[in-house]
Structure 1
Amino acid sequence: MNRIAEPGHTKRFFYDFIRLAGPYWTERRCWRPRLLGLTLALLVVAQVTLVIRLNIWTADLFDALERRSTDRAMDQIGIFVLILLGTMATNTAHLMVRRWLQFDWRRWLTARVIGDWMKDARHYQADRIPGDHANPDGRIAEDIRIATESAVDLVSTLFYCMLLLVAFVGILWSLSGWVRVAGVDVPGHLVVLAFAYAGAGAVVAFMLGRPLVRATDVRQTREAEFRFSLVRSHESGEPIAVARGEPLERERLRTAYETIAESWRDQSLGLARLLTFSSGYIVLASVLPILVGVPRFLENTLSLGRLVQSGQAFQQVTAALSWPVDNLAVIAGWRASVERVLLLEGAVRTAAAEAARKGEVSIELDRAPASQLRVQNLWVTAADGTATLSDLSLTVEPGERVLVDGDHEAASALFRVLAGIWPWGRGRVELPADDALMAIGPWPFLPQGSLRQALAFPDATDCHDDAMLRDTLSGVGLAYLASRLDEAADWTQILTPAEVQRLSFARIILSRPRWIVLGNATDTLDSASADTMLRLVVDRLPEACLLLIGQHPGSRDIFHRQLMLERASGGEIILHELHARRQAAKLPRSRPLSVIDRLRKGYGD
Structure 2
Amino acid sequence: MRLLSFAVAALAVIALVVSQQSGSAGILGLGVVGVLLAFATFRATTIPFFLKIFSGIFGTEYVLFGAGTLMAQIGLWPAAWQAVAPPASLATTVAVFGILIYLVSFVPVVQRIARIASPYFESSEPQIANLGPFGRYRMRLGTFAVALVVFLIVLNQAQVGISLRINFFYRDFNNALQEKNAPVFWEQLVNVFCVWAAISVISYLIETVAQSVLLIRWREWMAAEYNRRWLGNGNHYRISLAGTADNPDQRISEDTRSFLNQTYSFSLTLITQVSTLVSFSIVLWSIPVAITVPGTDIVIPGFIFWATLVYAALATWVTHLIGKPLIALEFEQERREANFRFALARLREYSEQIALMRGEGAERRHLSETFGGIVDNFYRLLWRKLKLTTFTLSYNQANVVIPYVLLAPYYFGGQIAFGVLTQVASAFGRVETAMSFFINSYQSIASYLASINRLTTFEQAIAKADAQAAGGEGAAIDITEKPVKDATIETLALNLPNGQPIVQASDLALPAGRATLMIGPSGSGKSTLFRALAGIWPFGVGKVATPQGQRMLVLPQRPYLPQGSLRAALAYPSEPDVFSDAEIHAAMEKVKLGHLTGRLDEVDLWGQRLSGGEQQRLAVARALLAKPDWLFLDEATASLDEKLEGEIYEVIRRELPQASIVSIGHRSTLRAMHDELIAMEKNADGTFSPKAKSMAEAG
Whether the TM-score (by the shorter chain) exceeds 0.5 is: yes
For 2:543, give the aligned amino acid.
R
Q: Secondary structure at the match of 2:300?
A: strand
Q: Secondary structure at the match of 2:623?
A: helix
Tell me the distance in 1 between the aligned counterparts of 2:530 and 2:352: 33
Q: C-alpha root-mean-square deviation of aligned residues, in Å?
A: 3.8
Q: Secondary structure at the match of 2:543?
A: strand
Alignment of 1:4-15 (within 5 A): 13-15=109-111
Equivalent residue for 1:139, pick from 218, 243, 251 = 251
2:99 corresponds to: none
Query: C-alpha offsets along residues 244-294 of structure 1, whole Å, 9 cap, x if unaligned?
Result: 787898799889989999998898888777667655544542332123222
Equivalent residue for 1:339, pick from 426, 449, 453 = 453
Q: Does 1:116 align with 2:212?
A: no
Equivalent residue for 2:198, pick from 85, 98, 101 = 85
Equivalent residue for 1:549, pick from 664, 668, 685 = 664
Q: Give the TM-score normalised by structure 2.
A: 0.72
Tell me the distance in 2 between the aligned counterparts of 1:553 and 1:310: 92
Q: Does 1:69 align with 2:165?
A: no
Tell me the distance in 2 between the aligned counterparts of 1:128 and 1:222: 20
Tell me the distance in 1 between the aligned counterparts of 2:364 and 2:475: 54
Q: Secondary structure at the match of 1:93?
A: helix
1:191 corresponds to: 305
Distance 1:551 1:431, change over 3 A: farther
2:119 corresponds to: 23
CA contact under 8 A between 1:522 and 1:551: conserved in structure 2?
no
Tell me the distance in 2 between the aligned counterparts of 1:210 and 1:427: 47
Deviates more, 1:39-48 or 1:94-103: 94-103
Q: Secondary structure at the match of 2:672?
A: coil
Q: Does 1:480 align with 2:592?
A: no
CA contact under 8 A between 1:419 and 1:517: conserved in structure 2?
no
CA contact under 8 A between 2:470 and 2:478: conserved in structure 1?
no
Equivalent residue for 1:425, pick from 523, 526, 540 = 540
Q: Does 1:470 align with 2:585?
A: yes
Tell me the distance in 2 between the aligned counterparts of 1:246 and 1:75: 74
2:486 corresponds to: 372
Distance 1:515 1:174, change over 3 A: same
Tell me the distance in 2 between the aligned counterparts of 1:360 and 1:151: 33
For 1:153, give the aligned amino acid.
S
Distance 1:546 1:365, change over 3 A: same
Alignment of 1:140-539 (within 5 A): 140-175=252-287, 177-181=289-293, 182-199=296-313, 201-202=315-316, 281-355=395-469, 362-367=476-481, 370-383=484-497, 386-408=500-522, 409-433=524-548, 436-539=551-654
1:584 corresponds to: none
CA contact under 8 A between 2:288 and 2:416: conserved in structure 1?
no
CA contact under 8 A between 1:478 and 1:499: conserved in structure 2?
yes
Query: C-alpha offsets along residues 48-73 of structure 1, whole Å, 9 cap, x if unaligned?
Result: 11111111111011111222211111
Deviates more, 1:21-30 or 1:267-276: 267-276
Offset of 1:119 from its aligned partner? 1.2
2:149 corresponds to: 37
Distance 1:522 1:427, change over 3 A: same
2:210 corresponds to: 97
Tell me the distance in 2 between the aligned counterparts of 1:223 and 1:115: 25
Deviates more, 1:80-89 or 1:271-280: 271-280
Offset of 1:32 from its aligned partner? 1.1
Q: Structure 2 regions of 5+ residues with no counterpart?
A: 1-105, 125-139, 688-699
Tell me the distance in 2 between the aligned counterparts of 1:243 and 1:542: 43
Offset of 1:136 from its aligned partner? 0.8
Offset of 1:301 from its aligned partner? 1.9
CA contact under 8 A between 1:403 and 1:562: conserved in structure 2?
yes
Tell me the distance in 1 between the aligned counterparts of 2:108 and 2:145: 24
Tell me the distance in 2 between the aligned counterparts of 1:560 and 1:21: 56
Distance 1:477 1:261, change over 3 A: closer
Offset of 1:141 from its aligned partner? 0.8
CA contact under 8 A between 2:233 and 2:469: conserved in structure 1?
no
For 1:300, give the aligned amino acid.
G
Deviates more, 1:548-557 or 1:319-328: 548-557
Query: C-alpha offsets along residues 315-357 of structure 1, whole Å, 9 cap, x if unaligned?
Result: 1111111111112122221111121112121112112223356
Offset of 1:237 from its aligned partner? 6.1
For 2:577, give the aligned amino acid.
D
Tell me the distance in 1 between the aligned counterparts of 2:369 and 2:241: 36
Query: C-alpha offsets along residues 363-391 of structure 1, whole Å, 9 cap, x if unaligned?
Result: 33123564222222333333465532113
Distance 1:434 1:103, change over 3 A: farther
Tell me the distance in 1 between the aligned counterparts of 2:310 and 2:338: 41
Distance 1:237 1:465, change over 3 A: closer
Tell me the distance in 2 between the aligned counterparts of 1:90 and 1:287: 31
CA contact under 8 A between 2:330 and 2:447: conserved in structure 1?
no
Query: C-alpha offsets along residues 188-236 of structure 1, whole Å, 9 cap, x if unaligned?
Result: 2211332243345446656876999999999989978987886787678
Tell me the distance in 2 between the aligned counterparts of 1:137 and 1:101: 23
Tell me the distance in 2 between the aligned counterparts of 1:373 and 1:258: 52
For 1:25, give the aligned amino acid.
F
CA contact under 8 A between 1:212 and 1:266: conserved in structure 2?
no
Offset of 1:239 from its aligned partner? 7.6
CA contact under 8 A between 2:470 and 2:477: conserved in structure 1?
no
Offset of 1:570 from its aligned partner? 3.6
Offset of 1:507 from its aligned partner? 1.2
Tell me the distance in 1 between the aligned counterparts of 2:320 and 2:164: 30
CA contact under 8 A between 1:172 and 1:314: conserved in structure 2?
yes
CA contact under 8 A between 2:488 and 2:508: conserved in structure 1?
yes
Distance 1:421 1:233, change over 3 A: closer
CA contact under 8 A between 2:616 and 2:636: conserved in structure 1?
yes
Offset of 1:103 from its aligned partner? 2.2
Q: Secondary structure at the match of 1:184?
A: coil
Tell me the distance in 1 between the aligned counterparts of 2:418 and 2:176: 9
Q: Structure 1 regions of 5+ residues with no counterpart?
A: 1-9, 573-605
Offset of 1:311 from its aligned partner? 0.5
Distance 1:338 1:553, change over 3 A: farther
Deviates more, 1:135-144 or 1:488-497: 488-497
CA contact under 8 A between 1:386 and 1:571: conserved in structure 2?
no
Offset of 1:564 from its aligned partner? 0.3
Offset of 1:567 from its aligned partner? 5.1
Bigger RCO of structures 1 and 2 (CA < 8 A, at least 6 apart): 1
Tell me the distance in 1 between the aligned counterparts of 2:508 and 2:329: 61
1:48 corresponds to: 160
CA contact under 8 A between 1:436 and 1:513: conserved in structure 2?
yes
For 2:436, give the aligned amino acid.
S
- Aligned residue pairs total 564
Offset of 1:501 from its aligned partner? 0.9
2:78 corresponds to: none
1:582 corresponds to: none
Tell me the distance in 1 between the aligned counterparts of 2:662 and 2:495: 21
Tell me the distance in 1 between the aligned counterparts of 2:235 and 2:564: 24
Tell me the distance in 2 between the aligned counterparts of 1:260 and 1:345: 26
Distance 1:230 1:119, change over 3 A: closer
Tell me the distance in 2 between the aligned counterparts of 1:169 and 1:109: 39
CA contact under 8 A between 1:401 and 1:546: conserved in structure 2?
yes
